Chains A and B, each alone.
Chain A
Amino acid sequence: MKILLIEDEPELRKSVKQYLYQEGFLVESANDYQSASEKVNEYEYDCILIDITLPKGSGLDIVKQLKQKNSKAGVIIISAKNSIDDKITGLDLGADDYLPKPFELAELNARIKALIRRRNFGGNTSIVVNEIIISTDERTVKVNNELVQLTTKEYDLLLFFISNKNRVVSKNSIAEHLLGDNSDQMDNHDFIYVHLRNLRKKLAEKGCEDYVQTIYGIGYNFKVS
């Protein structure tokens, strides 16, 4: 899987690259409009992450350029300008997703994976982790071939864990994932524990192993060997 990261802030470029690399992605980067434009012209990517404010140009023009050449790449806009206008313009121009800065790496990772899944229409949209099979088209979960009835939040939580499997995900990033833009309006994250407890119970009822490790103080790790 090849990803192009267009971002002018070197520190952010570095850490995003590192995180995605650990996820097994091949990550290339561009730090200004010109080099980004050249790269999207010359190479094919599975996913392109674009910052809107770039030196020497706008990321939105890159989105336009990709649309013109009928690129198959999924496009996620990463912007410091969390404005509805930018979001709408970006999505209208053909971007698939919009992630405002500052974002959680786990969230970015989950969004990239979801995007790549959606892009592979022909391929299999099921995610298989040992005895768990998630069909993302139907939003269903099977354990040992038995359907597990999950609530929306439990399903989102499981998918988020699996997208970031073998990773420590913080409670903050889970909250952000489950609640979206308004996560910072919640005073505490106790509710995550409630959903997680229910999820664990439902999975265990169908004979699923408990993969979720609690990392005290910070979050959880969905550990799959």
Chain B
Amino acid sequence: MKLITKTILYFLAVSIPLVALCLFLGFHLVNKELEDATEEALWKEKLNAEKLIEGGAVDFILYLSTDSLSKVVETTTVTTGDVYKDSVIYDRFEEEDLPYRILESNMSANGKSYLIFIARTTLEHDDLMESLLKAFGLLLGFLLLTFFALNWILSKTLWKPFYKTLNELKKYDLHANTVVALESTSTKEFKQLNQSLNEMMEKIQSDFQQQKEFTENAAHEMQTPLAVIKANIGLLMQSPNLKQEEMEQLQSIDNTARKMSSLNKALILLAKIENNQFKENVKLSAKEIVSKVLQHYEDALSGKEISVENNITTDINFKLNPALADVLITNLVQNAIRHNFKGGKIRIETKVNSLIISNTGEPLNIKAEDLFVRFKKNYASKESLGLGLSIVKSIVDSFDHTIGYTYENNMHKFSVNFG
């Protein structure tokens, strides 16, 4: 929920009950005042009427007002006391029922009993009340409007640096190796926020850089000791008196050294891709690279009796570093060979902007989303370093392309979208 929406909601949550309470109280207070005033007026008229009665001015009935509503009537009931009540009386002039406040009072004077009946319309009260409420409502509406406007303006101006920072942060990419420049503002809190964020990003960036450099340097440093191991194996192999068993041990050391060296190479490559060291971006033809790679894997393909369906009829062009394009397609083809059955099938095709490489093979025994994670590999594959597809993913990511995996009709299907 947006900050401004939240502020307004909180405001409404507090102001609606408050306004209701104020309206309620205001209504009752004003109403009470008006009623008191009416009753006082009725009472004064009553006093007037009493004086008239005591003065002997009343003979059976006396109309006190022109509309004949207020009057003094002789009665037989002998009670004393005042009764106030509300009533509705039809008005002949206005031709409608009008609300009235009525005072009925009994009194005795000169040995007779009288009923004093005084009526006063409260129509003006209702009108007044209505006007008051209207004014009140208008004021509240105006207040609300002002509040919304103020909030909106505040969020546009006061919060502007905040939204600016937010936008910059959204663009932030650790791999891009660029520090986001957060502008300084005059608001203390935002200034502190930007400062803290800047420091944090610098720290993350430098840690990340160091970590990447460490991977690359460590891998580089290992190549020379590996060269020593391999050279010594090469020398030892020449020894004329080696038994078969010793030869096999040598072979095993050699294979291990070789595997470690491949691992190093893969790690260096990954570090370099992530360091954006492959900048050159050239328009390349998928068809050309695929046929080059397939030729390269001729031996492996025939060794495993894998048939290749090269269905690239319409070539697709994409932009990539040429060396990485080779690695990308090589790794995908290698993956398709490695995780294939003997006598299996590989199908290569293009679709709009995608290059699709599918192969037969055992279903995955790892989660599909782990396929591109470093060192996650099918348990059966002892030859695999578990880095081939991570390298593919890295390449694709760093050049803003995408790769997807599906398992359809017993075939593993990798499709690279160069769109």
What is A's interface to B at a CB cutoff of 8 Å?
Answer: 9, 11-12, 15-16, 18-19, 22, 80-85, 100-106, 153, 167-168, 170, 172-173, 179, 182, 184-188, 190-191, 194-195, 215-219
Which residues from B are CB-within-8-Å of A219? Answer: 237
The docked-state distance in angstroms from the alpha carbon of A186 to that of B338 is: 9
Decide yes or no whether B184 CB sits under 8 A from chain A: no
B224–A82 touching, CB < 8 Å: no
Which residues from A are CB-within-8-Å of B268? Answer: 82-83
A186–B223 touching, CB < 8 Å: no
Decide yes or no whether B220 CB sits under 8 A from chain A: yes
The docked-state distance in angstroms from the alpha carbon of A216 to that of B244 is: 7
| B369-386 near A? 1/0 per residue, CB < 8 Å | 000000000000001000
| Number of interface residues, chain B, beta carbon within 8 A | 44
Decide: A217 near B228, CB < 8 A? Known: A179-B296, A185-B330. Answer: no
Nearest chain B residue, comparing its CB with the CB of A83? B272
| B247-262 near A? 1/0 per residue, CB < 8 Å | 1101100110111011
List 21 contacting pairs A-B, 8 Å CB cutoff, sorted by A: A12-B224, A12-B228, A15-B234, A18-B235, A19-B231, A83-B272, A102-B226, A105-B231, A105-B235, A170-B251, A170-B254, A172-B254, A172-B255, A185-B262, A186-B300, A187-B300, A190-B303, A191-B300, A194-B299, A217-B247, A219-B237
Which residues from B are CB-within-8-Å of A217? Answer: 244, 247-248, 250-251
Nearest chain B residue, comparing its CB with the CB of A12? B228
Which residues from A are CB-within-8-Å of B299? Answer: 153, 186, 191, 194-195
Interface centre among A16, A22, A172 (most CB of B within 10 A): A172
A218–B227 touching, CB < 8 Å: no
A102–B230 touching, CB < 8 Å: yes
Which residues from A are CB-within-8-Å of B300? Answer: 186-187, 191
| B330-341 near A? 1/0 per residue, CB < 8 Å | 110010011000
The docked-state distance in angstroms from the alpha carbon of A135 to that of B408 is: 52
Which residues from B are CB-within-8-Å of A80? Answer: 220-221, 223-224, 227
Which residues from A are CB-within-8-Å of B238? Answer: 19, 22, 167-168
Which residues from B are CB-within-8-Å of A9? Answer: 224, 227-228
Which residues from B are CB-within-8-Å of A84? Answer: 323
The docked-state distance in angstroms from the alpha carbon of A186 to that of B268 is: 19
The docked-state distance in angstroms from the alpha carbon of A20 to that of B257 is: 22
Closest-CB distance, B248 to chain A (whole angstroms): 4
Which residues from B are CB-within-8-Å of A22? Answer: 238
Nearest chain B residue, comparing its CB with the CB of A10? B228
Decide yes or no whether B265 CB sits under 8 A from chain A: yes
Nearest chain B residue, comparing its CB with the CB of A8? B224
A15–B272 touching, CB < 8 Å: no
New A-B pairs, 17, CB < 8 Å, besides A19-B231, A80-B221: A9-B224, A9-B228, A11-B228, A12-B224, A15-B231, A19-B235, A80-B223, A100-B223, A102-B226, A102-B227, A102-B230, A104-B234, A170-B254, A191-B302, A194-B303, A217-B251, A218-B237
A185–B334 touching, CB < 8 Å: yes
| B303-330 near A? 1/0 per residue, CB < 8 Å | 1000000000000000000010000001
Decide yes or no whether B229 CB sits under 8 A from chain A: yes
The docked-state distance in angstroms from the alpha carbon of A182 to that of B298 is: 13
Interface centre among B223, B299, B337 (most CB of A within 10 A): B299
Nearest chain B residue, comparing its CB with the CB of A166? B238
Decide yes or no whether B232 CB sits under 8 A from chain A: yes
Which residues from B are CB-within-8-Å of A173? Answer: 234
The docked-state distance in angstroms from the alpha carbon of A153 to that of B295 is: 12
The docked-state distance in angstroms from the alpha carbon of A47 to that of B223 is: 23
A102–B296 touching, CB < 8 Å: no
B330–A182 touching, CB < 8 Å: yes
Which residues from A are CB-within-8-Å of B259? Answer: 184
The docked-state distance in angstroms from the alpha carbon of A102 to that of B253 is: 14
B303–A82 touching, CB < 8 Å: no
Which residues from A are CB-within-8-Å of B277? Answer: 83, 85
The docked-state distance in angstroms from the alpha carbon of A11 to that of B228 is: 6
Closest-CB distance, A73 to chain B (whole angstroms): 22
The docked-state distance in angstroms from the alpha carbon of A204 to that of B251 is: 29
Closest-CB distance, B109 to chain A (whole angstroms): 125
Nearest chain A residue, comparing its CB with the CB of B278? A84
| B196-232 near A? 1/0 per residue, CB < 8 Å | 0000000000000000000000001101101111111
Closest-CB distance, B328 to chain A (whole angstroms): 13
The docked-state distance in angstroms from the alpha carbon of A173 to that of B220 is: 21
Interface centre among A102, A215, A216 (most CB of B within 10 A): A102
Closest-CB distance, B292 to chain A (whole angstroms): 11
The docked-state distance in angstroms from the alpha carbon of A21 to that of B337 is: 42
B237–A15 touching, CB < 8 Å: no
Interface centre among B251, B265, B338 (most CB of A within 10 A): B251
A15–B235 touching, CB < 8 Å: yes
Closest-CB distance, A14 to chain B (whole angstroms): 9
The docked-state distance in angstroms from the alpha carbon of A184 to that of B247 is: 21
The docked-state distance in angstroms from the alpha carbon of A186 to that of B172 is: 40
The docked-state distance in angstroms from the alpha carbon of A195 to that of B265 is: 27
Closest-CB distance, B342 to chain A (whole angstroms): 12
Closest-CB distance, B278 to chain A (whole angstroms): 8
The docked-state distance in angstroms from the alpha carbon of A217 to that of B383 is: 18
The docked-state distance in angstroms from the alpha carbon of A185 to that of B300 is: 10
